[in-house]
Chains A and B, each alone.
Chain A
Amino acid sequence: MSTSADIGLWGVPLAILGGAIRVSTPFLFVSLGECLTERSGRINLGLEGTLVFGAMAGYAIAFQTGSAWAGVLAAALAGTVFGLFHGWICKFRGVNDIAIGIAMMLLGSGLAFFFGKPYIQPVAPDLPAIPLGWWSDVTQVQAALQINVLFLIGAAFSVALWWVFKSTRVGLTIRVVGDSTDAARAMGLNPDLVRLLATAAGGALAGVGGAYLSLYYPGSWNEGVSSGQGLMAVALVIFARWNPVYCFWAALLFGGAGALGPALQSVGVSQGYYLFYAAPYVLTLGLLIATSSPNRALEGAPGELSITK
């Protein structure tokens, strides 16, 4: 039996927590993808486009096949293709990864809008969520703890990625390539190949983040499905100092900021709440300014990254 208890202002933190978990998942996947790519010494600003295209592809395939998981897989594949394309172009001399990223961002969104037109109306199946709030009678608690499977996968993945960077050959290879191309060459590694694969894997993760948008929250496909999560994730990775586990916490923080506006609205604050909708953007700016210094290089930044070099 559940009661809709009147929990008053307690509803705000609860709604923020629930919102954080719900809103953070795309941040988490895109930032893990960006983290992986940047650790290999490349920056892929195109992940925003990958995210939007992943949202469209995931929704379309889920609708066609009737399976949300098929949609997730399709989004990951689409993301891989975008990543491969970015990685392939960047290997040519004189090509700038940031410029290509911006082009890919526009390309991804443009293609998604073009192919996505027929899927704005139909309803595709949702991704399943686990009701972790079963122990409580309070509906608000139950709602907040309705946790999507992808969030849990993402959380597990951030720990796994941290372990990969620390204790596997693949992870160390990526870090070597990201930190010093010369050292990598002297070791007989092929930096372009490593970066190509890292960018592809990063693209796949961003694609999955997109699928979450269209298949769970907000849970439909339209052209405004992303509100810049793909770009904010870049700032998030810097804030998280290129550490996948910190990426998880940072994604929760950004998710919480994103949930601030809706949470205030839900408890009946009717004025000025829309200002709080800007919280994630303000947070992005604030954190970047607060954590930077004119005198010190960013701790943990991969040495070959074009923005920190």
Chain B
Amino acid sequence: MSHERALPTGAIGVEAVGMTMRFGDFTALDNVTVNIRPGTFHALLGENGAGKSTLVKCIMGFYHATSGGVLVDGHEALMTDPKAAHALGLGMVYQHFTLVPSLTAAENLVISRADAPRVINWGKERADLAAFMARMPFHVPLDQPVNRLAAGEKQKLEILKQLYLGRRFLILDEPTSVLTPAEAEDVLGHVRALTRAGEITVLMITHKFREVTRFADDLTVLRRGSHAGGGAVAELSHDDMARMMMGADPDLRSIDRTGGAGAVVLKLDGVRATDRSGLKPIEIDALDVRAGEVLGIAGVSGNGQMELMEILTGQRALEGGAVMVKGNAFTATRAEAKAHKVRYLPEEPLRNACAPKMSVAENLAFRLFDVGAGPKPRFWKSGRQIAENAQAMIAGFKIKTASPQSPIAALSGGNVQRAVLARELSGDVDLLIVSNPCFGLDFAAVSAIRARIIAARNKGAAVLLISEDLDEILELSDRIVVMSEGRIAYETPGATADVAEIGRYMAGHG
């Protein structure tokens, strides 16, 4: 170890016994027992809102379970707060990054140690860190502030941090939802090697069956807060897993495409802007999206997709060129969006499309709270209208929430996504702009949302789909373009798309 420590090393087993967790009168976890054997890679599956994050937060002492306990290596352990869990060798990589953005990777590592020295001798620490890194299967630059690292590097650093802290039981909450498939493969491969070597035990929450079969030894499934099944992964098929998650055979709708492309709805002409860092230009010379077609924008994250989305939602100023909707200049004001029936699902919807502390019902009413019976906008808000709308949308999109009155920030990640989609897909839509619509969603939700996007297309909406998931692009798009270094690098019809060719352009050499 890079620093003196008398702790024993090697993987430990953890058992959660009879865990129950209530938020008010909502039961998020109901008497769940899970045993994770030492040195195994254990997967935790479940629909959005099934209580996966809640369970692991109880194990880590982040939440205080209403009842139930944790056994560490067979001994009862009192998890009063995360510190107690850390002292026993338990560590967690949270669903949202918990690295400190403005600190460098090295600073993040050193300060996270419980025995961080009062005065830090950077010369010595750097030497120790280099020695530690030399023993690790993957690396990240240590002297960059974390906010300059790519998502994959951040995730690696989160895992490195846990190993650096000498953790022997590691919980990963959807570690790959922010990673590209190749990055995910890389990171999980290394993690699995560490469990094989008997250094750590891993409990991973995921929605991706493929990852479960490929990397996990055992699995546990939660359904609506209860233990719904589990066992050795080798003996279970993807269908078995799906059945355990849903409680019945899942209805995976797939809607056929009908109709073809019509008139141009969205037109970008010579658009110029600067990216987030303020250094690289975004240059989109020409881009059209027609009614009744899905245009997919593929690309590795950080090549200007986020900025393109910001341009289209009015969050980023144009330096040149024009965005036209149905032949009119479009600056994404509320009035324009309403007149042209433009709807959005931006990425990180909790931040970009919600008022986090307002209630679910209020958030669902953002498109209609001022719509009156007549042509004039409504002055007094109608509580009944908001409540009825919320009820209909919560039922229609199966949004899991304790009540329509709870703040939207208390919803699980996937349910925030559903809530925003419910709001944006209500009523007539002529132009739908979506960015990574299925991030962090369970498989049933993924198929439901994709079906809704196709349904909107079939009804004649023009759909612009920005996604880092190439499979999603290939499945949904009528036409595909690749974005690289802030430009459109390649275009191909969806039906005849060549994955290898797209991959080459995504990697920056076409």
By a CB distance below 8 angstroms, the chain A residues around B362 are none
- Is A179 an interface residue, CB under 8 A from the partner? yes
Which residues of chain A are near B255, meaning CB under 8 Å?
none
A167-B119, A188-B81, A295-B317 known; A173 and B111 CB under 8 Å?
A: yes
Q: Which residue of B lies closest to A297 (CB)?
A: B276
Q: Is the CB of A179 within 8 A of B101?
A: yes
Chain B residue contacts of A168, Cβ below 8 A: 118-120
Given the known interface contacts A169-B111, A175-B103, the answer about A296 and B96 at a Cβ–Cβ threshold of 8 Å is: no
Is residue B397 contacting chain A, with contact meaning CB distance below 8 A? no
Q: Is A294 interfacial (CB-CB < 8 Å)? A: yes
From A172, A176, A182, A186, B120 is in contact (CB under 8 Å) with A172
| B430 at the binding interface (Cβ < 8 Å) | no
Whether the pair B98, A176 counts as a contact (CB closer than 8 A) is no
Evaluate whether A169 and B101 lie within 8 angstroms (CB atoms) in the complex, with A186-B94, A188-B82, A295-B278 already known. Answer: no
Encode A157-201 as 1/0 by CB contact (under 8 A) with B: 000000000011110110110011011011110000000000000
Which chain B residues border A188 with CB–CB below 8 Å?
Answer: 81-83, 86, 114
Task: Across the interface, name the chain A residue whose C-beta is closest to B82.
Answer: A188
A303: which B residues are within 8 A, CB to CB? 101-102
Chain A residues 283 to 309 lying within 8 A of chain B, measured CB to CB, are 293-296, 300, 302-303
Report B470 CB to chain A, min CB distance, Å.
30
Which of B100, B112, B117 contacts A179, CB < 8 Å?
A: B100
The one of A183, A296, A300 that contacts B100, using a Cβ cutoff of 8 Å: A183
What separation, in Å, do the CA atoms of A300 and B122 have in the docked complex? 21
- Shortest CB-to-CB span from B471 to chain A, Å, is 31
**B158 CB, min distance to chain A CBs, angstroms:** 10
Interface flags, B95-119, vs A, CB<8A=1, else 0: 0101111110001001110101111
Nearest residue in B to A242 (C-beta to C-beta)?
B102
**Looking at chain B's contact residues, is the secondary structure mostly helix, strand, loop, or mixed?**
loop
Q: A183-B99, A295-B274 in contact; A167/B112 too (CB < 8 A)?
A: no
Residue of A168, A173, A186, A294 ringed by the most chain B CB atoms within 10 A:
A186
Cβ contact of B122, chosen from A167, A175, A187, A296, cutoff 8 A: A167
State the Cβ distance, A294 to closest chain B Cβ, in Å: 7
Selected from B82, B116, B317, the residue in CB contact (under 8 A) with A172 is B116
CB < 8 Å: which of A176, A294, A295 contacts B111? A176
Is A172 a contact of B102 with CB atoms below 8 Å?
no
Cβ contact within 8 Å between B278 and A167: no
* Contact residues in B for A172 (Cβ distance below 8 Å): 103, 107, 110-111, 116, 120
Q: Which residues of A contact B100 (CB under 8 A)?
A: 175-176, 179-180, 183
Chain B residue at smallest Cβ distance from A170: B118
Flag if B82 contacts A186 (CB, 8 Å): yes
- In the complex the two chains form, is B103's CB within 8 Å of A167's CB? no
Interface centre among B92, B103, B114 (most CB of A within 10 A): B103
- Of residues 57 through 110 on chain A, the ones whose CB sits less than 8 Å from some CB of chain B are none
| B316 CB–A CB distance under 8 Å | yes
Q: Which residues of A sit under 8 angstroms from B276, Cβ to Cβ?
A: 296
List residues of chain B with CB within 8 A of the CB of A185.
82
Closest to B86 in A: A188
* Nearest-Cβ distance from residue B307 to partner chain A, whole angstroms: 10
Q: Are A180 and B101 in contact (CB under 8 A)?
A: yes
Complex CA gap A179/B107 in Å reads: 13
A interface residue numbers (CB < 8 A to B) = 167-170, 172-173, 175-176, 179-180, 182-183, 185-188, 293-296, 300, 302-303
A-B contact pairs, 29 of them (CB 8 A): A167-B121, A168-B118, A169-B111, A169-B116, A169-B118, A169-B119, A170-B118, A172-B111, A173-B111, A176-B100, A176-B103, A179-B100, A179-B103, A180-B98, A180-B101, A182-B96, A182-B98, A183-B99, A185-B82, A186-B62, A186-B82, A187-B82, A187-B111, A188-B83, A294-B317, A296-B278, A300-B102, A302-B102, A303-B102
12 more A-B residue pairs beyond the given contacts A176-B103, A180-B100, A186-B94, with a C-beta to C-beta distance below 8 A: A168-B118, A169-B116, A169-B117, A172-B120, A176-B100, A179-B102, A187-B82, A188-B82, A294-B317, A295-B274, A295-B317, A296-B278
